[in-house]
C-alpha cells in the first residue's frame, strides 16, 4: 500500500507515540495496543462514524471534546484519552442507547458467545438499564435471500452490511429504509439479497441481526473446535477458519490475509462446507461385478486395481494407462499421483486440467508473474479472461477494489457482459473466435483502442488472462500474454478456475511437466535419484487420453477427484471414452457421473479431513489442516496411490503427507525452502514459490497462436457460473438450488432476428444435445452469438466445439 511516509507524534493515554499522518485514531490506538470499542468501523471499509461507540476524549484548542475516533485522523501534537471517566461515561451512554431497542435474546441468538455487542456491553456497558418502556418489534427473522436471514430487532444500524454490499461487493441490494426510530435494513420487495458475497455480511454484522441459513442453530460458538486452513474452492486460496463440533464441519469463516482474500469469502467457499458432511459421501471401496457395484475391502479393491493396471502395462506398455485429476486435493496428493504415474506405471499420460484450462507450460512457466497484491499498486489492469465474478470471485473483489478505491484504469475484454463491466474504463467485446483480430487491433492501437493502449503503456500494469469461455481456444490467452510481455511494465497473471490446479501443475500433474516446474524431458538431480528413470516423451493431455480410450491406444484410466463427464467441455465424448475403457478407477468423494461408469471406485478423504499444502494462482503455498475424520473407510489420495503402487510391486515410498511435503521440497526445484514449519510459523500468509532468488525453473517459450477458423452460423460462448452442477455444489444443499439453470444469452439484435424477447422460450441444439430454455438479453454480446452457461443441473454436458442452432419456441 502507498502509505504516506510522513509520521506525526501524538499522546495516547499519556504516552507519546508515532503514527502515520492521516491514519484514523482508532487504528493508531489499536496498532499501539489500545483497543477502542467500535461497531461500525471495519478496517477494510471506509469509516462512517455512525454508531458513536468509539468516542474518546481529545484535547482541542477549545478544551477537551468527545470525538469518534474512527473518523478522526491523527494530527501532530494530538492528546487523546481513551479511558478517561468522560470517555467511559460516553461509551456507557452509547451502549445504553443501543440496548434501548435491542431484544437481548442472546440465549436463542446464533451470535451469542461471539457477539461484539455482548462483549462490549460486558466490558464497557453500564450493567443496568434504566429503560422500562416497550421495545420496538419487528417480525422475527425474515429471509432476505436463500442464504441469509435478517432479524431487524437485533440490528444496531451500523451499516456494515450495507457498506460491504455497496463498497466491496458491488451489490447494493440491502439498504437503510425509513428513518428515525423506524429505520431498518431491508431489501426492495421481490429483490432478494442475491449477492455472491452475502455471507460476508453475516460474518461482519456486530450483532446477530444477520444469520446464515446453513449455520443457524447448529452450534454454540464455545462448543466449536477451530482450525485455520485454506479454502479449497477457488484458485485464489482464501484463508479461512474451519469450525467443527462432534466431528462435523459446521462453518467456514474468512480470515483476513491481506495478500489474498482480505477477510472476504465468496458464498460458494463459505457455504460449500456442506458437501463434507453429505450423506452421499463414499465410505467404502466399490467394485463393479456383473454391472453392479458391491462394497469391497481396501485390500481387495487395491489388489484388483494393481493387478489390472499391471496386466495392461505388461500387455500394452505403460502408455496404455492415463490419469486425469489431482487438482482438487493437496500438493501432497498431486505429488503422489505424479510419482505414481511416472514411477509405478511409467508414463507421462496425466493431466490435472480437464480440457478447460490452459497450456500447463504456459501457466507455470510464463515469466513476470503477477501477484494479487500487485493490484494494489497497478495503474492499469487488463482483464481478458473468464468473468472473474463467476470463476475467481476473490480476484474479482480485488480488481474491483483497485478500480474503485485505488483508481486503477480497468480494461475488460470479454465476449459477454461481466461483473466488472460497470467499473471498466474500457470494455471491448468480440464474437467468440474473433479474439485474435481484437488483439491485433488493440496492439496496433487503432481508433477505439488507442486510449486503452495508451493506458497499457502506463505502468505498473497487471494483465489477468485466461480462457473467456470453454469454446475459446487457450492459445488466445497465450497470444495476449505475448502482447503483455512487450508492454513496458506489465506483470502477467494467468488464471484457471479449479482449486489447486496450480499446485497440481507444480507437482508435475501434466503431460509435459515434472514436479517443481521442470520439463519432463529435463529430469535430473534429485528426481532421478529418488524416482529413477522417468519417461521423457510428452504424454497425453485429457483430450488426448479421452480420444485414446475411444481409439484403443489407451486402455486404462485413473480419475483422481475428476469428473470428466460433467467437467470436460465435451462431456459426451468423456462418457464414450469411459465406456470404451478396458479398465477405469475413480478415487473420489462422491459417486460422480464419471465414477458411476468406472470399474472400481475408491473413497477419498477430502478437505478438512487431511493435512497438506495447496498453491494458489500466484504460486502462494499455504497450509490446509485436518479437523474431522473422513467418512467410513475413506483415505487420502496419496495413501491410496501409495497402496496401489506397493501392490503392483513398484513402491513409491510415500508413508505420510508430511514425508511427502519433505520430498517435494527436495525434488521440486521451485519448492525449495518450503516446509510445513515455515507455513505454520513465519509464513502464515503463505510463501510464494520460488522463494527468494531461486530462478523460475521453467522457461516458457511463446508459441504463435494460430488463427482459429472463423465460425460460420452462430458462435457459442460457453461459460461457467459460480454455482453449477459440480459435485461439491451438488452435495451442498444450500447452494445446489442456486445454480441459475439454462438460459440462452442473445444480443438485442439477434433476439429481434429470431423474433424473441427476454424470457421467451427458445430451443437450442448444441451438437447432439437439444434443450429448451428462456432467452436472456445481453447487450454486450456480439450478433450471431449465443451465450450458454456450462454444467447446469438437468442438462447433459455440452460440447464446446459443436455447432449451435437456436430456434424460437420451446418444443424440442
Partner 1 sequence: MTDTARWSEESEALAESVMAKYPQKRSALMPLLYIAMREDGYLSEAGMRRVADLVDLEPAQVSSVASFYTMYKLEPVGKYLVSVCTSISCWLLGGDEVLEAVEASAGVPSGETDESGVISPEHVECIGACGGAPAVQVNYELIEGLTPKKATELVEWLNAAQPATLNGDEMQALFGGERSFDWAINETNDATGPYPAFQPHGTIAALDRS
Measured from the CB of residue 396, what is the shortest distance to ligand SF4 in angstroms?
Answer: 22
Measured from the CB of residue 759, what is the shortest distance to partner 1 in angstroms?
Answer: 10
Considering only the stretches 172-180, 561-569, 582-590, 785-793, report the one whose residues sit in contact with partner 1 under the rule CB under 8 A: 172-180
In whole angstroms, what is the distance from residue 591 CA to residue 606 CA?
14
- List Cα–Cα distances, 741 to 392, 773, 793, in angstroms: 20, 9, 7
- Number of chain residues interacting with partner 1 (CB under 8 A): 18
Measured from the CB of residue 183, what is the shortest distance to ligand SF4 in angstroms?
Answer: 9
DSSP sequence for 194-227: --TTTHHHHHH-SSSSEEETTTTTS--GGG-EEE
- Residue 628 engages ligand FES in binding (rule: CB under 6 A): no
- List Cα–Cα distances, 173 to 83, 164, 190, 243, in angstroms: 38, 11, 11, 29
Map residue 324 onto helix, strand or coil: strand
Task: Find the binder of partner 1 among 178, 181, 246, 704 (CB under 8 A).
Answer: 178
- Residue 173 engages partner 1 in binding (rule: CB under 8 A): yes
Task: Find the binder of ligand SF4 among 159, 306, 452, 556 (CB under 6 A).
Answer: 159
CB-facing half-sphere around the CA of 389: CA atoms within 13 A? 18
- Residue 164 engages ligand FES in binding (rule: CB under 6 A): no
CB nearer ligand FES, residue 38 or residue 573: 38
In whole angstroms, what is the distance from residue 285 CA to residue 295 CA?
6
Query: CB under 5 to 8 A by kind: which of ligand FES, partner 1, ligand SF4, none does 209 bind?
Result: ligand SF4
Considering only the stretches 77-85, 179-187, 765-773, 802-810, report the one whose residues sit in contact with partner 1 under the rule CB under 8 A: 179-187
Task: Find the binder of ligand SF4 among 94, 148, 158, 597 (CB under 6 A).
Answer: 158
Query: CB under 5 to 8 A by kind: which of ligand FES, partner 1, ligand SF4, none does 600 bind?
Result: none
Measured from the CB of residue 38, what is the shortest distance to ligand FES in angstroms?
Answer: 3
How many Å from the N-terminal Cα to the C-terminal Cα in the chain? 56
Map residue 696 onto helix, strand or coil: coil
Task: Find the binder of partner 1 among 92, 146, 175, 311 (CB under 8 A).
Answer: 175
Considering only the stretches 150-158, 290-298, 395-403, 451-459, report the one whose residues sit in contact with ligand SF4 under the rule CB under 6 A: 150-158
Task: Find the binder of partner 1 among 122, 188, 488, 703 (CB under 8 A).
Answer: 188
Footprint of partner 1 on 557-586 (CB under 8 A): none
Measured from the CB of residue 640, what is the shortest distance to partner 1 in angstroms?
Answer: 49
Tell me the per-residue interface mask from 656 to 695 with ligand SF4, x by CB under 6 A, - otherwise. Answer: ----------------------------------------
For the record, the C-alpha cell of 715 comes out as 458462435
For the record, the C-alpha cell of 210 comes out as 444477520
- Residue 160 engages ligand SF4 in binding (rule: CB under 6 A): yes
CB nearer ligand SF4, residue 185 or residue 324: 185
Footprint of ligand SF4 on 192-251 (CB under 6 A): 205-207, 209-210
Footprint of ligand SF4 on 259-288 (CB under 6 A): none
Contact predicate 515/668, CB 8 Å: yes
Residue 578 φ/ψ, nearest 5 degrees: -65, -35
Task: Find the binder of partner 1 among 62, 130, 179, 695 (CB under 8 A).
Answer: 179
Sign for the pseudo-dihedral over CA of 67, 68, 71, 74: positive
Angle, nearest 10°, between helix axes 637-648 and 331-339? Answer: 20
Residue 606 φ/ψ, nearest 5 degrees: -120, -165
Measured from the CB of residue 744, what is the shortest distance to partner 1 in angstroms?
Answer: 17
- Residue 156 engages ligand SF4 in binding (rule: CB under 6 A): yes
In whole angstroms, what is the distance from residue 585 CA to residue 294 CA?
14
Tell me the per-residue interface mask from 421 to 460 with partner 1, x by CB under 8 A, - otherwise. Answer: -x--------------------------------------
Contact predicate 781/416, CB 8 Å: yes
Considering only the stretches 180-188, 267-275, 288-296, 708-716, report the one whose residues sit in contact with partner 1 under the rule CB under 8 A: 180-188
Task: Find the binder of ligand SF4 among 8, 148, 161, 718 (CB under 6 A).
Answer: 161
Angle, nearest 10°, between helix axes 571-580 and 542-551? Answer: 50
Measured from the CB of residue 179, what is the shortest distance to partner 1 in angstroms?
Answer: 5
In whole angstroms, what is the distance from residue 728 CA to residue 736 CA?
9
In whole angstroms, what is the distance from residue 308 CA to residue 699 CA?
38
Measured from the CB of residue 273, what is the shortest distance to ligand SF4 in angstroms?
Answer: 22
Task: Find the binder of partner 1 among 172, 221, 258, 519 (CB under 8 A).
Answer: 172
CB nearer ligand SF4, residue 158 or residue 559: 158
Query: CB under 5 to 8 A by kind: which of partner 1, ligand SF4, ligand FES, none does 54 bind?
Result: ligand FES
- Residue 35 engages partner 1 in binding (rule: CB under 8 A): no
Contact predicate 426/531, CB 8 Å: no
Contact predicate 379/352, CB 8 Å: no
Counted residue by residue, the chain has a size of 812
- Residue 174 engages partner 1 in binding (rule: CB under 8 A): yes
Element (H, E) at 787: strand 785-789
CB nearer ligand FES, residue 50 or residue 305: 50
CB nearer partner 1, residue 167 or residue 796: 167
- Residue 695 engages partner 1 in binding (rule: CB under 8 A): no
Map residue 468 onto helix, strand or coil: coil
Contact predicate 12/23, CB 8 Å: no
Question: What is the layout of strands, in order, in the sheet containing 350-351?
Answer: 292-295, 286-289, 600-603, 583-588, 556-560, 321-325, 350-351
Considering only the stretches 103-111, 158-166, 580-588, 734-742, report the one whose residues sit in contact with ligand SF4 under the rule CB under 6 A: 158-166
Measured from the CB of residue 182, what is the shortest distance to partner 1 in angstroms?
Answer: 9
CB nearer partner 1, residue 405 or residue 706: 405
Label residue 346 left, alpha or beta by phi (over 0 means left) and psi (-120 to 50 means alpha).
left
Footprint of partner 1 on 189-208 (CB under 8 A): 189-191
Beta pairing, strands 409-413 & 380-384: parallel
Query: CB under 5 to 8 A by kind: which of ligand FES, ligand SF4, partner 1, none does 160 bind?
Result: ligand SF4
Beta pairing, strands 556-560 & 583-588: parallel
Question: What is the layout of strands, in order, in the sheet containing 490-494?
Answer: 426-428, 409-413, 380-384, 461-465, 490-494
Contact predicate 637/652, CB 8 Å: no
Measured from the CB of residue 47, what is the shortest distance to ligand FES in angstroms?
Answer: 7
Map residue 773 onto helix, strand or coil: strand
Footprint of partner 1 on 736-765 (CB under 8 A): 758
Footprint of ligand FES on 30-89 (CB under 6 A): 38-41, 49-54, 68, 70
- Number of chain residues interacting with ligand FES (CB under 6 A): 12
Footprint of partner 1 on 404-423 (CB under 8 A): 422
Measured from the CB of residue 181, what is the shortest distance to ligand SF4 in angstroms?
Answer: 15
Label residue 49 left, alpha or beta by phi (over 0 means left) and psi (-120 to 50 means alpha).
left
Measured from the CB of residue 161, what is the shortest distance to partner 1 in angstroms?
Answer: 12
- Residue 157 engages ligand SF4 in binding (rule: CB under 6 A): yes
Which distant-in-sequence residues (6+ apart) come within 8 Å of 708 by Cβ? 433, 436, 473, 475
Residues of this chain that interact with ligand SF4 (CB under 6 A) are: 155-161, 185, 205-207, 209-210
List residues near partner 1 by CB under 8 A: 171-179, 186-191, 422, 758, 777
Report the interface residues with ligand FES, using CB under 6 A.
38-41, 49-54, 68, 70
Amino acid at each position: 500500500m502507498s502509505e504516506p511516509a510522513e509520521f506525526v507524534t501524538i499522546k495516547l493515554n499519556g504516552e507519546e507515540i508515532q503514527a502515520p499522518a492521516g491514519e484514523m485514531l482508532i487504528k493508531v490506538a489499536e496498532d499501539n495496543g489500545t483497543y477502542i470499542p467500535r461497531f461500525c468501523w471495519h478496517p477494510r471499509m471506509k469509516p462512517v462514524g455512525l454508531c458513536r461507540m468509539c468516542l474518546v476524549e481529545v484535547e482541542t484548542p477549545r478544551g477537551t471534546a468527545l470525538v469518534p475516533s474512527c473518523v478522526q485522523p491523527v494530527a501532530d501534537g494530538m492528546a487523546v484519552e481513551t479511558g478517561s471517566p468522560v470517555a467511559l461515561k460516553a461509551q456507557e451512554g452509547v451502549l445504553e442507547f443501543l440496548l434501548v431497542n435491542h431484544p437481548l435474546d442472546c440465549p436463542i441468538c446464533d451470535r451469542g458467545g461471539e457477539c461484539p455487542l455482548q462483549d462490549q456491553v460486558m466490558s464497557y456497558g453500564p450493567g443496568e438499564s434504566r429503560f422500562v418502556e416497550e421495545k420496538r418489534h419487528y417480525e422475527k427473522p425474515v429471509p432476505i435471500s436463500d442464504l441469509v436471514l435478517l432479524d431487524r430487532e437485533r440490528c444496531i444500524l451500523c451499516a456494515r452490511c450495507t457498506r460491504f454490499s455497496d463498497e466491496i461487493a458491488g451489490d447494493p441490494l440491502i439498504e437503510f429504509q425509513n428513518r428515525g426510530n423506524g429505520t431498518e435494513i431491508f431489501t426492495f420487495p421481490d429483490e432478494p439479497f442475491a449477492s455472491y458475497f452475502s455471507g460476508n455480511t453475516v460474518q461482519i454484522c456486530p450483532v446477530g441481526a444477520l444469520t446464515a441459513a446453513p449455520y443457524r442453530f447448529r452450534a454454540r460458538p464455545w462448543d466449536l473446535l477451530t482450525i485455520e486452513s485454506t479454502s479449497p474452492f477457488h484458485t485464489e486460496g482464501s484463508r479461512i477458519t474451519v469450525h467443527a463440533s462432534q466431528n462435523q464441519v459446521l462453518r467456514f469463516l474468512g480470515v483476513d490475509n491481506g495478500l489474498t482474500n482480505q477477510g472476504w469469502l465468496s458464498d460458494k467457499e463459505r457455504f460449500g462446507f456442506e458437501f463434507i458432511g453429505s450423506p452421499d459421501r463414499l465410505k467404502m471401496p466399490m467394485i463393479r461385478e456383473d454391472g453392479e457395484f458391491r462394497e469391497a475391502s481396501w485390500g481387495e479393491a487395491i489388489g484388483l486395481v494393481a493387478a489390472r493396471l499391471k496386466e495392461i502395462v505388461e500387455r500394452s506398455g505403460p502408455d496404455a494407462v492415463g490419469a486425469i485429476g489431482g487438482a482438487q486435493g493437496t500438493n501432497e496428493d498431486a505429488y503422489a499421483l505424479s510419482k505414481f504415474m511416472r514411477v509405478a506405471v511409467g508414463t507421462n499420460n496425466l493431466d490435472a486440467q480437464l480440457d478447460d484450462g490452459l497450456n500447463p507450460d504456459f501457466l507455470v512457466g510464463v515469466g513476470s508473474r503477477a501477484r494479487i497484491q500487485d493490484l494494489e499498486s497497478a495503474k492499469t489492469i487488463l482483464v481478458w479472461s473468464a468473468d472473474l465474478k463467476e470463476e475467481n470471485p476473490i480476484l474479482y473483489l480485488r480488481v474491483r477494489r483497485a478500480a474503485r478505491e485505488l483508481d486503477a484504469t480497468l480494461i475488460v475484454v470479454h465476449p459477454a457482459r461481466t461483473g466488472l463491466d460497470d467499473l471498466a474504463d474500457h470494455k471491448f467485446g468480440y464474437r467468440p473466435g474473433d479474439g485474435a483480430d481484437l488483439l491485433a487491433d488493440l496492439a496496433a492501437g487503432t481508433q477505439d483502442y488507442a486510449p486503452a493502449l495508451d493506458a497499457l503503456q502506463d505502468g505498473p500494469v497487471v494483465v489477468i488472462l485466461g480462457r473467456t469461455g470453454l469454446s475459446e481456444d487457450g492459445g488466445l490467452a497465450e497470444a495476449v500474454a505475448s502482447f503483455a510481455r512487450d508492454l513496458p511494465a506489465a506483470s502477467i497473471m494467468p488464471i484457471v478456475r479449479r482449486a489447486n490446479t496450480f499446485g497440481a501443475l507444480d507437482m508435475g500433474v501434466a503431460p509435459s511437466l515434472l514436479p517443481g516446474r521442470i520439463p519432463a524431458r529435463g529430469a535430473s538431480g534429485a528426481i532421478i535419484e529418488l524416482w529413477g528413470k522417468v519417461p521423457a516423451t510428452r504424454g497425453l493431455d485429457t483430450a488426448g487420453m479421452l480420444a485414446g480410450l475411444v481409439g484403443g491406444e489407451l486402455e486404462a484410466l485413473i480419475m483422481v477427484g475428476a469428473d470428466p463427464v460433467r467437467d470436460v467441455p465435451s462431456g459426451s465424448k468423456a462418457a464414450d471414452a469411459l465406456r470404451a475403457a478396458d479398465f477405469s478407477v475413480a478415487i473420489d468423494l462422491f459417486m460422480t457421473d464419471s465414477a458411476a461408469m468406472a470399474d472400481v471406485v475408491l473413497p477419498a478423504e477430502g478437505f478438512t479431513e487431511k493435512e497438506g499444502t495447496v498453491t494458489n494462482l500466484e504460486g502462494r503455498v499455504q497450509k490446509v489442516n485436518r479437523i474431522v475424520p473422513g467418512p467410513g473407510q475413506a483415505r487420502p489420495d496419496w495413501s491410496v496411490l501409495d497402496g496401489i503402487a506397493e501392490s503392483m510391486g513398484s513402491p513409491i515410498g510415500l508413508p505420510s503427507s508430511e514425508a511427502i511435503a519433505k520430498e517435494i521440497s527436495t525434488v521440486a526445484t521451485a519448492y525449495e525452502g518450503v516446509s510445513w514449519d515455515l507455513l505454520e510459523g513465519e509464513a502464515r500468509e503463505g510463501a510464494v514459490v520460488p522463494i527468494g532468488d531461486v530462478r523460475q525453473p521453467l522457461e516458457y517459450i511463446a508459441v504463435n497462436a494460430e488463427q482459429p477458423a472463423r465460425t460460420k452460423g452462430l458462435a457459442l460462448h460457453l461459460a461457467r457460473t459460480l454455482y453449477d452442477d459440480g459435485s461439491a455444489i451438488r452435495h451442498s444443499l444450500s447452494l445446489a438450488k442456486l445454480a441459475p439453470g439454462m438460459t440462452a444469452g442473445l444480443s438485442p439484435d439477434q433476439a429481434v432476428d429470431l423474433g424473441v424477447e427476454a424470457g421467451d422460450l427458445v430451443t437450442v441444439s448444441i451438437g447432439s444435445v437439444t434443450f429448451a430454455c428462456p432467452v436472456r438479453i445481453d447487450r454486450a454480446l456480439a450478433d450471431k452469438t449465443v451465450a450458454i452457461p456450462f454444467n447446469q443441473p438437468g442438462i447433459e454436458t455440452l460440447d464446446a466445439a459443436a455447432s449451435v442452432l437456436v430456434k424460437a419456441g420451446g418444443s424440442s
